[in-house]
Structure 1
Amino acid sequence: MPEIPEIPEILDPGELPIPTPPIGPLRVAHVMAGAPAGGAELFFERLCIAQAANGLDVLSVIRRDPDRLARLTAGGLTPRELRFGGQADLLTRPRLNAALRKFEPSVVVAWMNRAARFASTGPWTLAGRLGGFYDLSYYRRCTHLIGNTHGLVSWMTRQGWPAEQVHYVPNFATDIGQVAPKRPREIPDGVPFVLALGRLHTNKAFDVLIRAIARVPGVHLMIAGEGPERENLEALARTERVRDRVHMPGWTDPASLIRACDLFVCPSRHEPLGNVVIEGFSAVRPVVAAASQGPRELILHGRNGLLAPVDDDRALAAVMQMVLADHALAHRLAVAGRATYERSFGPKPVLAAWAEFLQRVAPRGA
């Protein structure tokens, strides 16, 4: 197998401390002005619902989106919808400020650039939550920044933010370890299949994965997602003569698919975190990934998954074959991944980390 690029020393995710402070009377407002779908947007929903269920008083402020409104409402919240438009939107900022002053939060969390641009300062602590390497000028009103990877936290401090005002707080994924597997009808019985999830975009490197699957005979690949690269990927599958082994059904129920697959792959060129890797851990499936920013933090090569160099279809095919040919290895990686999930990326440890963060940064006397 080709040599994996050097991976910086980080804490084993299983060795991260799990703080468990009481939440107390804190009130938190989460402000999300993102797209209808996306990893950060879906985690925002999960976090708001879980914190409220855990006894925290939560206000969720969202960009107008009937589906998100319905999911948050079903989760027991009463979201506030605002426009969050462009430069001509003169009403969202005062309406947001009024909603916050009425709610009286201890901490306001602005999720990504647009929310941070509209968020107001006040008698609360304003924190910006980043899931990528964004332009920090959007967060100039924030006192604290949150990164969901160690790499992001290091990058933010290198940009000049004081280390004591930058915080690592990870994401959690829904526990799908008990979901019933559902084998896709497109995959013949008795044939191993590899699964990948995500938007069909060049960053996700599904082209590399299709070239890799061409080097793994007898194995089928399913890429569940939609996006602008569909036509190019379909053409590539024909060129690589694997059209009959590559299936792209669009967005579909991911949990049952992950549970059913023989191998879960994240081939991304750019992946600040890699929520899909955590989902693979949760589902007790062996995970292989390209060594982009997020996966190389989550995966300890040879222990809870395997890594291949970015943009290297030969190396990716080699590690895929390694797992598919060795059931003992696949089982060991899957069990270790599940242990990583339970210790560091399940709801309980992540909610505890968020509670500790809120207690730390809330105004005195909150």
Structure 2
Amino acid sequence: MRALHIITGLGVGGAEQQLRLLLRHLPVECDVVTLTNPGPVADGLRADGVRVVHLGMRGNRDLSAVGRLTRLIRDGRYDLVHTHLYRACVYGRIAARLAGVRAAVATEHSLGRAEIEGRPLTRGIRALYLSTERLGAATVAVSSTVAGRLRDWGVPAERIRLVPNGIDADRFRFDPDRRLAVRAALGIPEGAFVVGGVGRLVPGKRFDVAVRAVAALPDVWLLLAGDGPEAPALRALAARLGAADRIRLLGECGTEGGGPVPGVPALLSAVDTFVSTSREESFGLAAVEALAAGLPVLHDACPAIDDLSAAHAPGATRIAGSPDELTAVLRRRIQACPDRRPPPRAVGHYDIRRSSERLMDVYAYALDTAPPNRRALS
């Protein structure tokens, strides 16, 4: 089987890095097309031996992209097209149908109650999504929460398949040597209590809550991995609160690391508690990675944890999301002198190998149920 994955962009983000990890475990010959922004994840995919093509789409209304994508799919003689993220799903499903591909599936990574990929949901966006959704064989939801939102939107339940995001837990295992190295490189005093967070620096992640909470705790440090439009405002807030020396914005940190910036696994070894302050998430991959590192996790919305029983993640605590509450909870954590925990059951539940196996079942279903008059390309 040959599959083509189409994604909106390949900058450092949860969906993009999940695609790279998934391709390492799928027993399928795969190529990737990015509509825009062939960023660091594109470089990583190429290093893994994956062919990556940049379509050069100029904007949401670049309709010529449909023709270019259709020709690329037809020339590649793919058996299946798999789309990721809103723009790629809309354009990719249309192009796959025009190219005569036997089957197409899509993964919904970022559907919230009121936003999709950080943008407000509108009637037009929903209408376009639903009209093109019918062109595929199935839509994959990365969590039970997203599956419910898809049903509420109007996607028929029988077209939805649940394939949770996954992680390679061994990459995030606590390493005391990495802990010492990262802390030394960042100038963190020995014995300091360090809070960590990972994600795009956008308003919806509400990292300002973490900045305010840590600023109120003398000698506590905050390390934020990620980049985005909120970075200048967060730096200014830390300075205004007199905590700029203890609050570090590290920029984009992939799972590999490189140069002066530690990778996420090394960062998680260096911190003592992980926080996720988003009020809305479609999964919450970083929180699962933190659990794999043996960290206690303080979270607001996190479907990866919320969709399971409490026994799956005993080290996770739900918080309402105010700075004062987070400050109080962190103060109690410091006094309790938390130690590393064994990875909980949730980590095994979200093993990337299980995700790969579930996705292969979706592929088999899509190909088995393809209309008999659909042109076979294999």
Common topology (TM > 0.5): yes
* CA offsets 1:105-131 (integer angstroms, 9 cap, x no match): 343111112112222213422222111
Query: Counterparts in 2 of 1:162-181, with a 5 A limit?
Result: 162-174=156-168, 175-177=171-173, 180-181=178-179
Given the superposition, is the C-alpha separation of residues 88 and 305 from structure 1 closer, same or farther in structure 2, using an over 3 Å criterion? closer
Aligned residue in 2 for 1:45: 20
**Does structure 1 residue 94 correspond to structure 2 residue 101?**
no
Aligned residue in 2 for 1:183: 182
Query: Counterparts in 2 of 1:67-82, with a 5 A limit?
Result: 67-82=40-55
Aligned residue in 2 for 1:348: 353
- Equivalent in 324, 327, 344 of residue 317 of structure 1: 327
Aligned residue in 1 for 2:367: 362
Q: Tell me the SS of whatever aligns to 2:51.
A: coil
Q: How many residues align?
A: 332
Q: Tell me the SS of whatever aligns to 1:223.
A: strand
Tell me how large the CA RMSD over aligned residues is: 2.7
Aligned residue in 1 for 2:83: 110
Matches of 1:238 and 1:70, distance apart in 2:
35
**Does structure 1 residue 267 correspond to structure 2 residue 240?**
no
Q: Tell me the SS of whatever aligns to 1:335.
A: coil
The TM-score, its normalising length taken from structure 2, stands at 0.78
Matches of 1:62 and 1:229, distance apart in 2:
25
* CA offsets 1:325-365 (integer angstroms, 9 cap, x no match): 3346x54xx3243x321x22222211122122222222359
Query: Counterparts in 2 of 1:266-305, with a 5 A limit?
Result: 266-291=276-301, 296-297=306-307, 300=310, 303-305=314-316
* Greater displacement, 291-300 / 347-356: 291-300
Query: Counterparts in 2 of 1:101-180, with a 5 A limit?
Result: 101-119=74-92, 120=95, 121=97, 122-133=100-111, 134=116, 135-136=125-126, 137-138=128-129, 139-140=132-133, 141-174=135-168, 175-177=171-173, 180=178
Q: Tell me the SS of whatever aligns to 1:60.
A: strand
Q: Tell me the SS of whatever aligns to 1:244.
A: coil
* Greater displacement, 314-323 / 275-284: 314-323
Given the superposition, is the C-alpha separation of residues 63 and 178 from structure 1 closer, same or farther in structure 2, using an over 3 Å criterion? farther
Q: Offset at 1:193?
A: 0.9
Contact residue 174 and residue 294 of structure 2 kept, 8 A: no
Given the superposition, is the C-alpha separation of residues 70 and 152 from structure 1 closer, same or farther in structure 2, using an over 3 Å criterion? same
Counterpart code for 1:58: C
Matches of 1:288 and 1:191, distance apart in 2:
19
Matches of 2:309 and 2:286, distance apart in 1:
12
Contact residue 108 and residue 126 of structure 1 kept, 8 A: yes
Matches of 1:195 and 1:178, distance apart in 2:
14
Unaligned runs of 5+ in 1: 1-25
Matches of 2:4 and 2:42, distance apart in 1:
15
Aligned residue in 1 for 2:342: 335
Given the superposition, is the C-alpha separation of residues 299 and 44 from structure 1 closer, same or farther in structure 2, using an over 3 Å criterion? farther
The TM-score, its normalising length taken from structure 1, stands at 0.81
Contact residue 81 and residue 105 of structure 2 kept, 8 A: yes
Counterpart code for 1:246: I
Aligned residue in 1 for 2:122: none
Q: Among the aligned pairs, what percent are the same residue?
A: 23
